[in-house]
Structure 1
């Protein structure tokens, strides 16, 4: 309470006591005089209080402030200024909201707000054309009930939205849409949906082109390889320079065949989202077979290969695809690890899922290369890759196989100390005993 209010209250109290004493002196009833004076003062206060209540109920800034005297006059003015500032702030916020809604209305991409219970709160007009949402009947409805695609439901409920989801539009299956979800506030969701049909078509054209070219090249390459083998088998009396040329041609043809096989495998992996032959794959059996092949590949280089695997662990998926991915990791370790080096293959599980790691003590990889290792044809050292006969597609195949099995590849490496490649599968991919 400021000094003005205190002075007013003191003056009112002195006036009230003075009036009560005068009435008491005249009537001789000081008690009744004091009670009468207090009742009158209370009635005056209640009158101004009712006027304040009536003015606040109108909540009209254009209305004149009620006239009052003393304490109530200052109180009325303060309430008026507070109400005016509040209305101005609300108008500014409403203007910002209106501009935001106008800007999102003009977007071609869909913008959707979902509350922490998964219910629709608001969306722009693009969401109606891309997703078929209708206002007002869809407001407050669970998003999972309106978008029934199983991949969207898994994506929305997983909580892991680092990678966008691409599916067909529920309105038109020829339209491809991409979901990006961002969490904000009290675990609410902001969804952005883009029409990526053109990008999808271009990507499909690229896949078809690679698959078709790879398939068409197999036949002439097979013919060339066959004739080279025949010529080499009957080249005993030929000029040594011609024999050396044919041997180099055969090596490059063999390398080209490996490249085409990897390209065709990648094309098959990209053609579908999930493996067609989905069944339990016993990890110990698969890894034991890969270890035997790795020892044969090592041969005179005499690598020390160690296998530690959970005998009861099985992963749900395609055995052919998983064997291809795991063997790529193990064979890479054999190729790049020096003679008599150690390669450790481990397979285990915990509450977060199943793991397969391949560790070597080879030359290691510089940290700047790690983010791009799974790109097609990316090589840390092209000369080293050519010596080992690599195609640059092995880790790309591993990445695609893991994506089809809901897994991921983690890479750790230190120069001159070796590398660790770890495949992580979620608990949903583990086959329970």
Structure 2
């Protein structure tokens, strides 16, 4: 009898110890995550200011070089000016890439701190999608787009227009980066019950099924897939940010992909219901 009581007491103390240890470890992880988020936020803000200044100086120098072009210059001088403009263009592209990475870090720090602000308004998803694909920044001019939307049909949603554009642009960017330039990208918009459905399909290498649930995680990249049409290698934040934006709109995201058969990324948004 005494042995059983002692065993019970020991067991209880062991349980209490393990529970306290688990709680301590959880609190330590949370504090480490909080400090990491704080560091990322501060570092991103500190980087953004000088990057803005650098980009402004590059653009100013580019305008001055352009205005200094003169047919009276010697051939050697004209060649040097052309080389300088080319170097400035490359530098501007790299600064733009770095700015994009910093913005992604800021976005994910806002997500972790639950401070991502959304400005909802009634908008036509059809018009928004057409506006995005006409934007020269959305995709290379060499790429063929097959757009399957009804231009005469309004698909009305309540959304933060800038944020939804961000999601669509990221889907298009991924499709462009991971598929051959001669392969078309397909964009589809339709209504499905009470939801608007948007999909972007490519003919890239596809994504292994085991990776589907992980690609939406922060900082996750599929190592077995190579970038084909960009020198940029992202941080693995775009899909994580896209999922957060869509979910804050009470929508869903997903992917359908089989290795060797391309990928289709999609998201849904609730249709606007007038009260």
TM score, norm. by length of structure 2: 0.70
How far apart are residue 216 of structure 1 and its match? 1.1
CA RMSD of the aligned region, Å? 4.2
How far apart are residue 242 of structure 1 and its match? 5.6
Structure 2 CA distance for partners of 1:245 and 1:408, relative to 1, 3 Å: same
Partner of 1:365: 207
- 1:395 pairs, out of 239, 244, 253, with 239
Partner of 2:32: 202
Structure 2 CA distance for partners of 1:346 and 1:406, relative to 1, 3 Å: same
- 1:321 pairs, out of 163, 166, 169, with 163
Structure 2 CA distance for partners of 1:304 and 1:340, relative to 1, 3 Å: farther
Q: Is the 8 Å Cα contact of residues 177 and 229 (structure 2) preserved in structure 1? A: no
| Counterpart check, 1:293 vs 2:129 | no
SS of the residue 1:411 aligns to: strand
Structure 2: stretches of 5+ with no match in the other structure: 70-76
SS of the residue 1:249 aligns to: helix
Alignment of 1:347-366 (within 5 A): 347-350=190-193, 354-366=196-208
How far apart are residue 343 of structure 1 and its match? 0.7
- 2:42 pairs, out of 209, 212, 218, with 212
- 1:258 pairs, out of 100, 111, 129, with 100
Question: What is the CA–CA distance in structure 1 between the aligned matches of 2:122 and 2:256, rounded to whole Å?
Answer: 29
How far apart are residue 419 of structure 1 and its match? 0.8
How far apart are residue 257 of structure 1 and its match? 1.6
Question: What is the CA–CA distance in structure 1 between the aligned matches of 2:24 and 2:132, rounded to whole Å?
Answer: 43
SS of the residue 2:234 aligns to: coil
How far apart are residue 248 of structure 1 and its match? 3.1
| Counterpart check, 1:344 vs 2:187 | yes
| Counterpart check, 1:277 vs 2:187 | no
How far apart are residue 208 of structure 1 and its match? 2.0
| Counterpart check, 1:307 vs 2:137 | no
How far apart are residue 263 of structure 1 and its match? 2.2
Alignment of 1:90-239 (within 5 A): 102=12, 106=16, 196-232=26-62, 233-234=64-65, 237=77, 238=80
SS of the residue 1:384 aligns to: coil
Q: Is the 8 Å Cα contact of residues 175 and 185 (structure 2) preserved in structure 1? A: no
Q: Is the 8 Å Cα contact of residues 186 and 200 (structure 2) preserved in structure 1? A: yes
Question: What is the CA–CA distance in structure 1 between the aligned matches of 2:28 and 2:125, rounded to whole Å?
Answer: 40
Count the aligned residue pairs: 255
CA displacement, residues 339-396 of structure 1 (integer Å, 9 cap, x when unaligned): 2514132232237x55332222334334454343233262546862672545343212
Q: Is the 8 Å Cα contact of residues 148 and 186 (structure 2) preserved in structure 1? A: yes
Structure 1: stretches of 5+ with no match in the other structure: 1-94, 111-192
Alignment of 1:10-159 (within 5 A): 102=12, 106=16
How far apart are residue 281 of structure 1 and its match? 4.4
Question: What is the CA–CA distance in structure 2 between the aligned matches of 1:277 and 1:194, rounded to whole Å?
Answer: 39
SS of the residue 1:420 aligns to: strand
Question: What is the CA–CA distance in structure 2 between the aligned matches of 1:313 and 1:107, rounded to whole Å?
Answer: 57
Question: What is the CA–CA distance in structure 2 between the aligned matches of 1:255 and 1:211, rounded to whole Å?
Answer: 18
Question: Which has the larger displacement, 380-389 or 357-366?
Answer: 380-389
- 2:221 pairs, out of 362, 378, 402, with 378
How far apart are residue 315 of structure 1 and its match? 4.0
CA displacement, residues 269-305 of structure 1 (integer Å, 9 cap, x when unaligned): 3332775434544432322322333797342333323
Q: Is the 8 Å Cα contact of residues 411 and 422 (structure 1) preserved in structure 2? A: yes
| Counterpart check, 1:431 vs 2:272 | yes
CA displacement, residues 313-334 of structure 1 (integer Å, 9 cap, x when unaligned): 5444433222211221133324
TM score, norm. by length of structure 1: 0.48
Structure 2 CA distance for partners of 1:312 and 1:221, relative to 1, 3 Å: closer
